[in-house]
Amino acid sequence: MTFIASLWQSMPSTVSLGLLWGIMTLGLYLTYRLLDFADLTVDGSFALGGAVAAHLVVTGWNPFAATAMAFLAGMIAGAVTGLMHTKLKIPGLLASILTQIGLYSINLHIMGKANLPFPVKITEAGKVYTTIFGIVPSFGLGTKGVVLLYSGIAIVLVIFVLWWFFSTEQGITIRSTGDNEHMSRALGINTDNTKLICLMLGNGLVGMSGAMIAQNNRVATLDMGTGCIVFGLAAIIIGEVLFRRRSLLGQLFAVALGSIIYRIIQSVVLQADWPAEDFKLLSAIIIAIALSLPVITEKINALMVAMGWKAAVKPLPTGHADNATMKEIKETNVSAAAPSSSGSLHIQNVEKTFNIGTINQKNALNGVNLTLKPGDFVTVIGGNGAGKSTLLNVIAGVHKAENGIIEIGGTRVNHQAEYKRAAKIGRVFQDPMMGTAAGMTIEENMSIAMKRGKRRTLAKAIRRENREQYRQMLKTLDLGLENRLRSRVGLLSGGQRQALTLLMATLTKPDLLLLDEHTAALDPKTAKNVLTLTERIIRRQGLTAMMVTHNMRDAIRYGNRVIMMHEGRIILDISGEEKQNLKVEDLLVMFEKVSGSAMANDRMLLS
């Protein structure tokens, strides 16, 4: 038999295996790509699925029920890794390795030996194995045809279920956690829970794949999961490079196709009669090439462009090219909203110390006292290390204060986690990249922000009426973003992203808005536009706000109060007519008089 004929004859089995392994690859894709978590649990949870299915079928269980239990067993394995990482704070990679090591012994206990074959029945038609492929209707197909048909149906069902789930309010939070964990917590998402759910779901699929592979092979073995992580990563990369899809559904199908293609490559190697001792080496080379495809294709494309063989790939249009071309934000004649009675902040004797008990101990906050009335817009200035950003982070729950009282809207929040405080707090970060999920669309980012402080369910995250609502909200920014709802946020300029972050922070009216040098990373023109927008939103919604800035002129110009911090304390608090008549020179004199030293911060002196 010729090489081509032999390869063609083996193709049904090859594609079937690619589909069955594709379910495992989809599970790995959830953790590796969507969650951005390097999970090595899969080698163990894959074998766990096979062991559980084989053991249950041998003891009399229906193969479908046994496969469902394998999915559940995989979820438990993922939960162990997740709990070690989120609750015990063990690094994710190490937690997954520990779980994988432990599963080796557990799988051996389940099977009782190194391999466990599925039972077989003798019928008039011959031997029939008690597996899902042995009890389903065959429709006149042979054994290979049955496996190909049902493995195809299984993976398509898995893909559409995943697509549905990750388009729900709950599912979209998992994607945002993997894209930008800081933003997710700031928008009220319990990122520990989202990590746990994704790890459980991913390893559940891996366990189900292991069960189906074991039934296809008619035996579960202790080492059947060896190399799963490598296979899965190679399949993901192949799928992403060859099938460049942007939609989530397209990406899931690309991953499945990548698994099939990788199995075909392996089949070619096997059919080529390479020496058995070289198979591992060839597999390693194939995987290395697959993982290098993104870099290889980029270099080939650049070379072809340089030689004039291929036109350069044009960048996707972004509407507004960069910060410098960002449109001037127009003033609107909107009367200021009445301040919310809940929008207040009370801080009493708050202290925060970093690196306690070490030579690097730093007293960042030393008995800070501050009260903001509803509608107060306070600007915060001070030199480097004065405690400005630390104060905002302690209020937001990023850092826990050792002593003191923090009340927002009349509610004490000292012991609340960051994601719980987010129900009352809107935040805009210094880095424009921190406030949005770059890999998600504008409408997906806004959908997450809209549910801040509310219960997230399995309802569809974005409906038609939501899009119209988001479009109207984006029009207030006057940046043309209302026509780009399905554009990825990563395509926006820094100014556009910061304006979007500001809108997201105030989408549902917060009791307190925290702005941590949110214009520091922008060019002067864009910074001015964002500040104008900030003032307009605060005035229109009657928000209570704190804005940290290094620019003294901005501190004087915006807000109704300005406070100055030095060495973890508030040393100046100026408001009313005194603030209206304040000049930069006056602030410098006041600072020297109160602190006993001259201002030594170049950024503030030159602002």
Q: Given this model, what pLDDT does residue 341 score? A: 53
Average pLDDT over residues 594-598: 65
Which ranges constitute the DSSP H helices of 112-142? 132-135
Q: How confident is the model at residue 605 (pLDDT cuts 50, 70, 90)?
A: very low
- Res. 215: pLDDT tops 90: yes
Q: How confident is the model at residue 281 (pLDDT cuts 50, 70, 90)?
A: confident
In the chain, the percentage of residues whose pLDDT exceeds 90 is: 62
- Res. 313: pLDDT tops 70: no
Q: Given this model, what pLDDT does residue 321 score? A: 35
Q: How confident is the model at residue 586 (pLDDT cuts 50, 70, 90)?
A: confident
- Res. 291: pLDDT tops 70: no
Total-model pTM:
0.86
Structural domain boundaries enclosing 193: 8-222
Q: Measured at the alpha carbon of residue 291, what is the angle toward residues 287 and 292, in degrees to the nearest 5? A: 115
- In this structure, the answer to whether residues 92 and 209 fall within a common structural domain is yes
Q: Given this model, what pLDDT does residue 302 score? A: 75
- In this structure, the answer to whether residues 556 and 497 fall within a common structural domain is no
Q: Given this model, what pLDDT does residue 283 score? A: 67
* Cα 43 to chain centroid, rounded: 23
- In this structure, the answer to whether residues 486 and 600 fall within a common structural domain is no
Asked if residue 324 belongs to a domain, the reply is: no
Residue 441 CA to residue 176 CA, distance in Å, equals 11
Domain final residue pick, 507, 538, 563: 507
Of 550 and 80, the structure prediction assigns the larger pLDDT to 80
Q: Given this model, what pLDDT does residue 135 score? A: 87
- In this structure, the answer to whether residues 606 and 566 fall within a common structural domain is yes
The domain tally of the chain equals 3
Lowest mean pLDDT segment, chosen from 20-34, 57-71, 235-249, 461-475: 235-249
Q: Given this model, what pLDDT does residue 484 score? A: 93
Residue 209 CA to residue 50 CA, distance in Å, equals 8
Q: Given this model, what pLDDT does residue 199 score? A: 97
- In this structure, the answer to whether residues 96 and 17 fall within a common structural domain is yes
- Res. 312: pLDDT tops 80: no
Q: Which of 292, 178, 156, 155 is nearest to 234 (CA)?
A: 292
Residue 316 CA to residue 324 CA, distance in Å, equals 18
- In this structure, the answer to whether residues 78 and 107 fall within a common structural domain is yes
For 51-74, the pLDDT digits (tens) are 999 999 999 999 999 999 999 999
Q: Measured at the alpha carbon of residue 39, what is the angle toward residues 38 and 41, in degrees to the nearest 5? A: 160
Q: Given this model, what pLDDT does residue 326 score? A: 37
For 170, half-sphere exposure in the C-beta direction (CA atoms, 13 angstrom radius) is 13
Give the highest mean pLDDT range of 137-151, 156-170, 284-298, 338-352.
Answer: 156-170
Q: How confident is the model at residue 144 (pLDDT cuts 50, 70, 90)?
A: confident
Q: Given this model, what pLDDT does residue 601 score? A: 56
Q: Given this model, what pLDDT does residue 311 score? A: 44
Domain final residue pick, 479, 507, 535: 507
- Res. 583: pLDDT tops 90: no
Q: Given this model, what pLDDT does residue 124 score? A: 57
For 504-559, the pLDDT digits (tens) are 999 999 999 999 999 988 888 888 999 999 999 999 999 999 999 988 889 999 99
Q: How confident is the model at residue 143 (pLDDT cuts 50, 70, 90)?
A: confident
- Res. 296: pLDDT tops 70: yes
- Res. 334: pLDDT tops 50: no
Contact 176, 184 (CB under 8 A): yes
Lowest mean pLDDT segment, chosen from 11-25, 119-133, 565-579: 119-133
Within 10 Å of residue 334's Cβ, how many Cβ atoms?
A: 12
Residue 528 CA to residue 474 CA, distance in Å, equals 19
Within 10 Å of residue 15's Cβ, how many Cβ atoms?
A: 21
**Burial 385-418, CB ≥16 within 10 A → b, else e:** ebbbbbbbbbbbbbbebeebebebbeeebeebeb
Q: How far is CA 259 from CA 13, 16, 242, 508, 567, in A?
A: 13, 10, 12, 43, 58
Average pLDDT over residues 390-417: 94
Asked if residue 1 belongs to a domain, the reply is: no
Residues composing the chain: 607
- In this structure, the answer to whether residues 349 and 487 fall within a common structural domain is no
What SS3 state is found at 557? Answer: helix
* Cα 288 to chain centroid, rounded: 27
Find the farthest-apart pair of alpha carbons in the chain and give their distance in angstroms, rounded: 102
- And the tokens for 154? 């299984």
Asked if residue 526 belongs to a domain, the reply is: yes
Average pLDDT over residues 167-191: 95
Asked if residue 49 belongs to a domain, the reply is: yes
- In this structure, the answer to whether residues 366 and 492 fall within a common structural domain is no
- In this structure, the answer to whether residues 65 and 206 fall within a common structural domain is yes
Ordered DSSP codes for 26-46: HHHHIIIIIS-----THHHHH
Asked if residue 141 belongs to a domain, the reply is: yes
Within 10 Å of residue 258's Cβ, how many Cβ atoms?
A: 26
- In this structure, the answer to whether residues 526 and 589 fall within a common structural domain is yes
- Res. 604: pLDDT tops 60: no
- In this structure, the answer to whether residues 596 and 477 fall within a common structural domain is no
Asked if residue 98 belongs to a domain, the reply is: yes
**Burial 460-481, CB ≥16 within 10 A → b, else e:** ebbeeebbeebbebbebbbbeb
Within 10 Å of residue 321's Cβ, how many Cβ atoms?
A: 11
Backbone angle region of 308, left / alpha / beta, with phi > 0 → left and psi within -120 to 50 → alpha: left
Residue 164 CA to residue 181 CA, distance in Å, equals 22
Within 10 Å of residue 306's Cβ, how many Cβ atoms?
A: 10
DSSP 32: I
Q: What is the CATH number of the domain that holds 534?
A: 3.40.50.300
Residue 100 CA to residue 45 CA, distance in Å, equals 7
Asked if residue 152 belongs to a domain, the reply is: yes
Residue 422 CA to residue 189 CA, distance in Å, equals 8
- In this structure, the answer to whether residues 400 and 420 fall within a common structural domain is yes
CA dihedral 266, 271, 273, 276 (to 10 degrees): 40
Residue 91 CA to residue 95 CA, distance in Å, equals 6
For 357-384, the pLDDT digits (tens) are 888 899 999 999 999 999 999 999 988 8
Domain final residue pick, 488, 507, 526: 507
Asked if residue 606 belongs to a domain, the reply is: yes
Q: Given this model, what pLDDT does residue 434 score? A: 93
Residue 72 CA to residue 105 CA, distance in Å, equals 18
Residue 383 CA to residue 375 CA, distance in Å, equals 26
